[in-house]
Structure 1
Amino acid sequence: MLSKSQVCDFGWPAPEFSLLTPSGKSHSRDSIMGPKGMLIAFICNHCPYVIALIDRLAKDLKTLDALGIGCAAIMSNDYGRYPADAPERMVEFAKVHGLSVPYLVDEDQSVARAYGAVCTPDFFGFDADGGLQYRGRLDDVGMRDDPSSRAPELLNAMRQVAETGKGPEHQIPSMGCSIKWR
C-alpha cells in the first residue's frame, strides 16, 4: 500500500533507541548522533521505492557521514510475512548496494512506532541537539526517471542543518510502501 510520510514537526526530539545489526552489534540514538546531526532512514529490502533509490541513498549517506552527520538505516517490517526483509537478507542487501551505515533490525517495531514512521523509505533528519529538522524525500526522481540531473533534497537539507541548525521550511514528504506491521 502506498503511503506518504508526515510533514516535519520542527524541533520534535529524537526518541531514544537501542537496536542490533543482523550480526548482533548494538547501536543507540546517542551512538549514531554525529557532531552536526543525525539522519535515520526507515527502509527495507523488498520495497520497490527503496530499491529504486538505494544506490543514491547509500552514496548520500556516505557524504552526510563525512559532514559529521551520523546515519543509520532501520528495517522495521514484519519479516516473518516478508522474508525478503529478514536479517540475513539485510546483510546481503547492504553489501550489494554499498550501504556503509549501520542497518538495524527493529524486531518489535517499537522504534518505528516511536518515530512515527509510516513508509519505506521514511527519513528523519535531526540537528546536533536531536531536534527534527527534515522529514522529506530523498530527491525529486520518480521511480522510473533518470537520476542524472536530480535535486538531492535530503542531502541539501541536511547540509543546511549541519551549517545552520535549521532545516528548509519547504519539504516534500517521502512516498513509499507502508511499513508492514505485525
Structure 2
Amino acid sequence: MVLTPSTMLPLGTPLPAFELAQVWGANGAVGPGDHGAAWSSTSLSAQPVLVLFLCAHCPFVKHIEPGLSRLEADFSSQVQIVAISSNSTITHPQDGPEGLREQAARNGWRFPYLFDASQAVARTFHAACTPDLYLFDAAHQLVYRGQLDGSRPGNDQPLDGRDLRAAMAALLSGEPISADQQPSIGCNIKWHPEGV
C-alpha cells in the first residue's frame, strides 16, 4: 500500500466535463451488464457538486464509508454527490462495476457511482488517491479539495467529517470557505499497467 496525498487542484478550477457509465444510483444497480447507463456532468443543475474518487478495496475508503453515508444523509438535498472509481481492473478486479455495486449496496448509498474505465476523468481531475474529494459551488468552481477529516485507519481520530462538512456548511450559508485545506491521504489510484 502506497500512501499518496491529493494533488490539491487549484481552487477556482472549473468542474471538468465528463460522461461515464453509471453502475449504481438511487434505485440500486443501473443499466444492463457491467457498464450501465451514461451519466453526464452536463446534465447538472446550478447547484453545488461533490465529486468523490473512491474504490471498493481501499482500506482508507472503507474507513470513511460511514462518514460518507452520514454526509449523504445530511447534504444530498442541497448538494449533488457523485462518486467515481478509476482504478484499473487489470490489477484490481475487485474495483470493477460489481465490486462497486456491492460497496454501494452495503452502505445504502443513493448517489450515482460511476466507472471510469479509461481513467481519463481521474487524469482530468488530477486525482491521485482514494479517497480524493472535490467540492464545487453552484457555478461549478472548485471551492474545496482535500480530506474528509483527520481520521485514518488506526489513528484514533474521530470520523466526524469536520473538514469537508465545514466547507459544505460555509458554502451553503454563503460564508467564506477557508483556503487552509489539508490534503486527503489514501491509496494511490491504481493506474493501468504501462502499455495497456
Whether TM exceeds 0.5 here: the answer is yes
1:127 aligns with 2:137: yes
Counterpart residue number, 2:183: 173
Aligned residue for 1:141, secondary structure, equals coil
- Matches of 1:107 and 1:81, distance apart in 2: 13
Determine if contact 2:151/2:158 at 8 Å carries over to the other structure. Answer: no
Distance of 1:8 and 1:174 partners within structure 2:
12
Q: Distance in 1 between matches of 2:175 and 2:68?
A: 22
- 1:87 paired with 2:97, answer yes
Alignment partner, residue 53 of structure 1: 64
Tell me the residue number matched to 1:138.
148
User: How many residues are treated as equivalent by the alignment?
Assistant: 180
Superposition CA RMSD, Å: 1.8
Corresponding residue number in structure 1 for 2:37: 25
Deviations 1:137-164 (A, max 9, x none): 0112221245657352112211212222
Which deviates more, 49-58 or 1-10?
Answer: 1-10
- Aligned 8 A contact 1:64 1:155 in 2: no
Partners of 2:67 and 2:161 within 8 A in 1 = no
State the structure with more CA Rg. 2
The runs of at least 4 aligned residues of structure 1 exceeding 6 Å deviation read: none
Unaligned runs of 5+ in 1: none
| Cα 1:71–1:34 shift into 2, 3 Å | farther
Structure 2 residue matching 1:45: 3-state secondary structure: coil
2: CA distance, partners of 1:16 / 1:165? 27
Flag the 1:163–1:30 CA change in 2: closer, same or farther, 3 A.
farther
Q: For 2:92 and 2:158, how far apart are their aligned partners in 1?
A: 32
In the alignment, which residue of structure 1 is the partner of 2:33? none
State the AA in 1 paired with 2:64. L
Is 74-83 or 34-43 further displaced after alignment?
Answer: 34-43
Structure having the higher helix fraction is 1
Q: Which amino acid aligns with 2:128?
A: V
In 1, are the aligned partners of 2:50 and 2:133 still within 8 Å (CA)? yes
TM-score calculated relative to the size of structure 2: 0.85
1:91 partner SS:
helix
State the alpha-carbon separation in 2 of the partners of residues 151 and 86 from structure 1. 27
Residue 3 of structure 1: aligned partner: 4
SS at match of 2:180: coil
Pair 1:65 & 2:76 matched? yes
Unaligned runs of 5+ in 2: 24-29, 31-35
- Separation in 2, partners of 1:149, 1:181: 28
